[in-house]
Amino acid sequence: MTILDRLLSVFNLQRTRENDDPYTRHPYSPRTTAGVVVTPDTALKSAAVWACVRYLSQSIAQLPVRVMQMTRDGSERRPNHNVAWVLGWEASDEYGAFQFRETLITWALLWGNGYAEIERDYAGRVIALHPIHPSRVEVRRDLETGVVFYEVNNGASGKIDLDPADMFHIRGFGDGPVGVSVIELAADTIGWAKAAELFGAAFFGEGMHPAGVVELPGKADPNALKRMRAEFEQLYKGPKKGNKTAFLDGGKKWTKVGVDPDEAQFIDTLQFQVEQICRWFGVPPHKVQHLLRATFSNIENQSIEVVQDALAPWAVRFEEEANRKLFGGNRGYYFVKLDLKGMLRGDFKARQDGLQVMRRNGVINAEEWREIEDIGPMDAEGSAKYIIEGNMTTLEMVGQQPEPAAPIGPGGGPPLEEDADAAAARARVESLLVTA
């Protein structure tokens, strides 16, 4: 903490102070009730966890990033801004923009927090974002000023402190300055799922189905038992030797003592665990290829809901952190927008129908339509004009009365001029026709 920061803290009118240790209050033990160790790394071995994390992180990573500038009439895109390059093209020498966002969202899901150091040039402009693994970062609070800072472990180089302005921090579900790890809270659920998978793997790996005991008449010789066990395992143990019939001699009797997977509802348990893990991450089951209860009638509505309920919160977290940290003194003048409309790129017909409605009602012009579809500019006369229904007139002509049509004479030409005598004769003829 610099001397200037300490002096400025004197004028802080806030009277309350947060706890000195900003870390989560939730107790966590990596060994779950099911006896399986669950950590952010081992949790990814669960197919449901992997699918949820992959879907959320890659969905946010593929969204188009727009750097917008506030104007008097609203906002305009600034594709040449340095932040647009860092977030949309290359975050650093080691990370592309997609990989950067995918990595930080993945860490935020598994560890509760995703970190990246903000590198600036001598003018204070952001030139790179360097991801830092959450295991290397400790969130601390200055005991005198109450300001949060980040202690980063650089290994053999020791530890350094980073100010909040120099740390791009994506928090998970909120618990103050430090996000809550889904893996820690869902450890028992994930451990149960892992235990069920281990049971299935052991069942098919051992192959001795069903489990049971062999009853021998009288007392058996230890060497004979050892030899019989070896022969039995050689004949029936293994994934390709299960479900065979065992033949016993010498009055031996086989007694089943195990439980079949069907009797233990093994498959139902695995399916239930997928739904449970999806609840923890807020991902609809059909997005992790769990289509047990999905139908063609509701899958479209669920796809719309997942954008609003699962993806939008993470997009807002990313936007807010970028707006707070990446624009320096121009904060509020520029802002970042993740375009969620990019999630509709798969439905071409629905997208074109929507754009056509916007085009016909003067919302977009032909050039903007082409830009949305990533087609080069047309640069044709009238392509930048806005049109609406009703003879496809321009917006400038809306509400104006059309000019009266010029009178047409015989043969399609202009009308002939009449002299006084011709006009009088025509009037007499018209009066005689009326009298008749």
For the CA atoms of 7, 10, 16, 20, the dihedral, rounded to the nearest 10 degrees, stands at 30
Residue whose structure tokens are 């350094």? 160
What token pair was written down for 33? 């009730």
CA dist., res. 350 & res. 300, Å (int):
12
CB 68 within 8 A of CB 77: yes
Domain spans, the chain: 18-211+261-345, 212-257, 347-402
CA dist., res. 436 & res. 430, Å (int):
10
CA dist., res. 228 & res. 236, Å (int):
12
pLDDT in the model for residue 3: 64
- Kindly tell me the burial class for residue 10, based on how many C-beta atoms sit within 10 Å of its own C-beta (0-12, 13-18, 19 or more): exposed
CA dist., res. 18 & res. 7, Å (int):
20
At 317, the amino acid letter reads R
pLDDT in the model for residue 214: 60
215 by DSSP, 3-state: which? strand
DSSP label at residue 340: G
- Per-residue pLDDT of the chain (436 residues), as tens digits, is 566 556 556 556 666 666 666 665 566 666 766 677 888 888 888 888 899 999 999 999 999 899 999 888 788 888 899 999 999 999 999 999 999 999 999 999 999 999 999 999 998 899 999 999 999 999 888 877 778 899 999 988 899 999 999 999 999 887 778 888 888 888 878 877 777 666 666 666 655 455 555 666 666 677 777 877 777 777 666 555 555 555 555 556 656 555 555 545 656 666 767 888 888 888 888 787 766 666 656 566 666 677 777 888 999 999 999 999 999 878 778 999 998 876 655 567 777 888 888 888 888 888 888 877 777 777 777 788 888 876 666 666 666 766 666 666 555 566 666 666 667 777 777 777 666 5
b vs e for 284-301, b when ≥16 Cβ sit within 10 Å of the residue's Cβ? bbbbbebeeeeeeeeeee
What token pair was written down for 3? 């001397």
Residue among 276, 275, 280 at smallest CA distance from 293: 275
pLDDT in the model for residue 381: 76
* CB count in 10 Å sphere of residue 273: 21
Residue among 150, 142, 85 at smallest CA distance from 116: 150
CA dist., res. 28 & res. 32, Å (int):
9
Cis peptide before 210 (omega within 30 of 0): yes
DSSP label at residue 361: B
CA dist., res. 319 & res. 23, Å (int):
24
Q: How far apart are the first and last CA of the chain?
A: 110
Residue whose structure tokens are 């006369």? 381
What token pair was written down for 14? 């806030």
CA dist., res. 92 & res. 273, Å (int):
39
Strands (E), 33-112: 65-71, 74-77
Residue among 93, 90, 87 at smallest CA distance from 68: 87
CB 314 within 8 A of CB 306: no
What values do phi and psi take at 139, rounded to 5?
A: -90, 125
CA dist., res. 345 & res. 278, Å (int):
24
- Kindly tell me the burial class for residue 79, based on how many C-beta atoms sit within 10 Å of its own C-beta (0-12, 13-18, 19 or more): exposed
At 252, the amino acid letter reads K
Taking only Cα atoms into account, the Rg of the chain, rounded to an integer number of angstroms, comes to 37
Residue whose structure tokens are 């624009």? 327
User: How many Cα atoms are found within 13 Å in the side-chain-facing hemisphere of 86?
Assistant: 21
CB 118 within 8 A of CB 129: yes
Residue among 321, 22, 317, 16 at smallest CA distance from 176: 22
